[in-house]
């Protein structure tokens, strides 16, 4: 695999180890917060503020890395902030401190995401971009397999020791930071004079982006508006089966399928084209959500989440690869940053909208509407978005 460079390998390992730290805590954070006195409303506000912070900071730091001509300092600091935020949440039981700790974690994610993706893009050619991004996503997702398993084993032997888990999560988090010191970055000459950008200045990229970038971004963001949090899918599993164990095992199974399918999907996207594989993923999304509206057994949920894992493999890394092929190298951080920032905001709105529909009309209609919208976006992409054939003319501003 000559197209998987040393830098791609290290970034993939960094993401996997960091994700082990995050996913160790993902299933227990809501329980921990309720145990220390947080209401469901306060948890919702906390996560909303954290995600909004992460979303906007992704665009800002992606833009800044373009102007700085460097990616690695942003990546390293981002992983460091996320690592130290883990024990911070257990140090002081105070709502203001918890908000600060959670926001620190999300700023860390915002710091590293776009610069990391820009560095991955620089390590690939347009012809190998999908498999490079998908290779990275596969390893990253392995962390979502190992993390919950480690948490399960620890809580099995030390039930109720939730706060200790936050300190343990610091270990893989800081190991991820140490791995970044093995990366050798080649600085590039910024397109514009080095300067610290305004916090929201990355939004102006829309005006100078290539026509292909703008045209692709529209359906991707429309889809994000109807792609609510996976927590709702897991909540539905818990409601139908009544089993915490089934819910967690289904989540682990989903991540195993996602991790194993990511790289093959990337290879297919490079061999054929990204549009075809991404569109196939949208069909699988619809199948998943239509299935969720009707599923009534544990076996059905395993099948549905297996399909959902293949959907993620066919879309997550490939969408970023597709986006980066629509931008100049010196603007990749801003291009990815704008996409992931708007995507984060859209996903936050999608979760709120899904929650409202669920509350008034039930889970069935919520999932059915998401499935229908996915099919509409599929048709839009098939008929109005051209096949991604990279050429310099598409990048003329």
What is the arithmetic mean of pLDDT over 307-332? 94
pLDDT digits (tens, 9 = 90+) for 239-289: 888 877 788 889 899 999 999 999 999 999 999 999 999 999 999 999 999
On whether residue 196 sits in a domain, the answer given is no
Structural domains in the chain (count) = 1
Helices assigned H by DSSP within 26-71: 29-35, 40-68
Residue 273 CA to residue 257 CA, distance in Å, equals 22
DSSP class of residue 196 equals P
200 vs 392: which has the higher pLDDT? 200
Confidence (pLDDT) at 194: 66
Taking CB atoms within 8 Å and a gap of at least 24, the contacts of 41-45 are 42/95
Residue 387 reports pLDDT greater than 80: no
Residue 117 CA to residue 233 CA, distance in Å, equals 27
Confidence (pLDDT) at 44: 60
On whether residue 64 sits in a domain, the answer given is yes
121 close to 332: Cβ distance less than 8 angstroms = yes
104 close to 79: Cβ distance less than 8 angstroms = no
On whether residue 31 sits in a domain, the answer given is yes
Residue 1 CA to residue 208 CA, distance in Å, equals 36
Q: Among 234-248, 265-279, 290-304, 336-350, where is mean pLDDT lowest?
A: 234-248
Confidence (pLDDT) at 390: 52
Residue 68 sits in which domain range? 6-183+207-389
Number of helices (H), then strands (E), in the chain: 16, 0
DSSP class of residue 220 equals H
On whether residue 236 sits in a domain, the answer given is yes
Token pair for residue 10? 């290290």
Query: What pTM does this model have?
Result: 0.90
Confidence (pLDDT) at 56: 85
Q: How confident is the model at residue 45 (pLDDT cuts 50, 70, 90)?
A: low
Residue 89 CA to residue 80 CA, distance in Å, equals 15
Residue 46 reports pLDDT greater than 60: yes
Max avg pLDDT among 137-141, 203-207, 345-349: 137-141
Residue 279 CA to residue 274 CA, distance in Å, equals 8
On whether residue 190 sits in a domain, the answer given is no
On whether residue 225 sits in a domain, the answer given is yes
Cβ-based neighbours of 94, under 8 Å, separated by 6 or more: none
Residue 259 CA to residue 262 CA, distance in Å, equals 6
pLDDT digits (tens, 9 = 90+) for 203-236: 999 999 999 999 999 999 999 988 877 878 888 8
Token pair for residue 330? 């010196």
Which of 277, 396, 328 has its CA nearest to residue 121? 328
What is the arithmetic mean of pLDDT over 159-163? 84
- Cα radius of gyration (the chain): 20
Q: How confident is the model at residue 193 (pLDDT cuts 50, 70, 90)?
A: low
CATH (domain of 312): 1.20.1250.20
On whether residue 339 sits in a domain, the answer given is yes
Q: Rounded to 5 degrees, what angle do the CA atoms 187, 207, 63 make?
A: 30
Residue 62 CA to residue 207 CA, distance in Å, equals 17
Q: Is the dihedral of CA 377, 60, 71, 122 positive or negative?
A: positive
On whether residue 198 sits in a domain, the answer given is no
Residue 332 reports pLDDT greater than 60: yes
Residue 20 reports pLDDT greater than 90: yes
46 close to 98: Cβ distance less than 8 angstroms = yes
């Amino acid at each position: 695999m000559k197209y998987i460079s040393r830098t791609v390998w290290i970034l993939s390992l960094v993401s996997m180890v960091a994700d082990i730290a995050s996913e160790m805590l993902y299933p227990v954070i809501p329980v921990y917060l309720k145990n220390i006195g947080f209401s469901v409303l306060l948890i919702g506000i906390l996560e909303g503020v954290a995600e909004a912070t992460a979303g906007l900071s992704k665009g800002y730091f992606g833009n800044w890395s373009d102007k700085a001509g460097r990616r690695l300092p942003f990546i390293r600091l981002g992983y460091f902030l996320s690592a130290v935020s883990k024990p911070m949440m257990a140090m002081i039981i105070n709502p203001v401190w918890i908000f600060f700790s959670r926001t620190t974690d999300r700023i860390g994610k915002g710091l590293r995401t776009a610069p990391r993706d820009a560095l991955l893009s620089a390590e690939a050619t347009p012809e190998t971009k999908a498999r490079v991004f998908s290779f990275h996503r596969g390893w990253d997702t392995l962390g979502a397999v190992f993390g919950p398993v480690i948490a399960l084993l620890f809580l099995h032997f030390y039930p109720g020791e939730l706060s200790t888990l936050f300190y343990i999560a610091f270990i893989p988090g800081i190991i991820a930071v140490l791995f970044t010191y093995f990366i050798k970055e080649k600085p590039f000459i910024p397109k514009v004079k080095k300067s610290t950008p305004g916090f929201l200045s990355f939004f102006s990229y829309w005006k100078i982006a290539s026509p292909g970038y703008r045209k692709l971004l529209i359906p991707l963001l429309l889809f994000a508006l109807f792609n609510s949090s996976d927590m709702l899918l897991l909540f539905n599993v818990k409601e139908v089966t009544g089993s915490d164990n089934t819910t967690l095992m289904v989540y682990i199974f989903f991540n195993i399928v996602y991790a194993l399918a990511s790289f093959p999907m990337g290879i297919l996207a490079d061999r054929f084209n990204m549009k075809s594989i991404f569109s196939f993923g949208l069909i699988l999304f619809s199948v998943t959500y239509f299935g969720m509206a009707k599923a009534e057994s544990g076996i059905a949920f395993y099948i549905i989440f297996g399909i959902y894992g293949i959907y993620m493999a066919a879309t997550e890394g490939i969408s970023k690869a597709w986006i980066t092929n629509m931008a100049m190298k010196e603007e990749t951080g801003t291009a990815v940053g704008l996409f992931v920032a708007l995507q984060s905001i859209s996903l936050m709105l999608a979760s709120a909208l899904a929650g409202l529909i669920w509350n008034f009309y039930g889970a069935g209609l919520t999932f059915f509407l998401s499935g229908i919208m996915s099919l509409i976006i599929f048709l839009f992409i098939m008929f109005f978005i051209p096949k991604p054939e990279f050429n310099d003319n598409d990048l003329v501003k």
